[in-house]
Structure 1
Amino acid sequence: MSDRVTISRDGPVATVTMNRPDKLNALDVTQIEAIVAAGASLATARDVRAVVLTGAGGSFCAGLDIAAMPVIAELARSTGFMTRSHGRSNLFQAAAMTWAELPQPVIAAVEGHAYGGGFQIMLGADIRVAAPSAKFAIMEAKWGLVPDMGGMVLARRLLRGDVLRRLTYTAEVFDAEGALDWGVVTELADDPLARAQALAAMIASRSPDAVRAAKRLISDTEVMGAGDVLLEESAAQEALVGQPNQLEAVMAGFEKREPKFTD
């Protein structure tokens, strides 16, 4: 783990902070690796009873750092998204799935942006507390991609199929009220970090054995066959990365113009 992600402790509550505020905590490979490492470091910490996940600098996570796309494309060519490097997930999926799979409950405190991969990392939390001004998007279609960081496992726990399709196909930005109505966030708070830490402290006061068992029971009965879904995600993404229309989506975004796709 690097200084890209920090962990602070208040008794049995750990607060994990994505720490790339100059880039709105956007995701390059180094950032993703640091997020995964943070989750791994907490998974065996018996004295941690609840986790708060947030972002530094007033933004949760603005999604993929497009400047990192060449490195990610090279990883896709050399290693392949189908490689299961972290249990049933690849590296990118592990950035979100690590929080869903952590034995302790995780509460996301969301301000600013939760876009693309940041949105999916947020969905890995058990509970999501958002500021009224927060903005959300399943952003991958803007870059010619599909949600591939566990989104097809995590989003289907929360969103109706038609809402998931709309938000995925359009990549539209939506506000916190919409997120609350659709079940993407649990509640709104003017100070989401303080509220998340208060909830974490309440959870940490309960029997850790019962809380861990409850999380495991809810998760196991909520989603079946998640490993197969993660493989399907990877296959879909691997077929898109580096192809002409996907590269055109990225270039059009860089050049602030309308993309010209081929059929």
Structure 2
Amino acid sequence: MVLIHCKYKGEEQQFLYETTVEIGVKDLIKELVEVHNLRLRIQRIKSEGDDLATHGPCKPPDKQGLDEDIQAEADGVELPPRGPTYCKDPIGKRTGDAPVPQAQATLRKALDDAAAAASKKQVEAKHPLTKRELMEHIDLIRGAVMIAYPMGLPEYDPVRIDIEEDEKPSETPIGIDILDETAQLWWAGKQMLPGNKLSVHVGRNEKTKVVAKLTKKGAGAPQRENPITPEEHKAMLAYYHKRQEEMKHLEQNDEDDYTNSAWANSRALKNHFSGV
């Protein structure tokens, strides 16, 4: 199987994918886009799901950001008693009605497992992703949400939206990275043409490893990657800073260090012959 190391916009969005050289480029783009979008979908669910587990479902859009205590005091009304798991949302987006601890733990585990499965660390682990695997994790999150909230989440809750609906571009940082089937695939600085088979571009060796990049239609060729990673760059800066400090220290001691040397002793020759 050909191993595709697929990237989008640098190092953050990347994953491994296995395929065959006989696949058409158009079909390959479709499959890569599906996995890419599922990874983004899981990232969104994880971000909102952590808040759901801590602070409960979302308030209606027209009430988000409002402090219920202050509003009730201003209106002269008394709020109903709150449950033992109540945890106030400091930004006022969610109701504060958190699930019971056991259901909360189940939901968090499902979220963490899904985030780990979709993480770019799977590249380091040399684990290719599949659409089926990622969908299974979304189904597990769906089940955990049903356990935590048997009555269901409101239709405007982001977790419910991302679990139930297909990927749609949005104005969020993650949402704007969603791709469709018109995306373009690049390898070695050249676009892989949708009308070709993958073998036309990478050869017929099924053990080939390809670093390919996705871009939106009309975005042009992706930027060339830096020859060194950010971690390597930081390590180099730290090394040269340390060397610079060592050289400064040597320069400061250079003027009088020689006085302790044997060759600088004016009595060295006399002491040698006198046996001192």
TM over 0.5, shorter chain: no
Structure number with the higher strand fraction is 1
TM-score, reference length from structure 2 = 0.23
TM-score, reference length from structure 1 = 0.24
Which one scores higher on RCO, CA 8 angstroms, separation ≥ 6? 2
Structure label with greater radius of gyration = 2
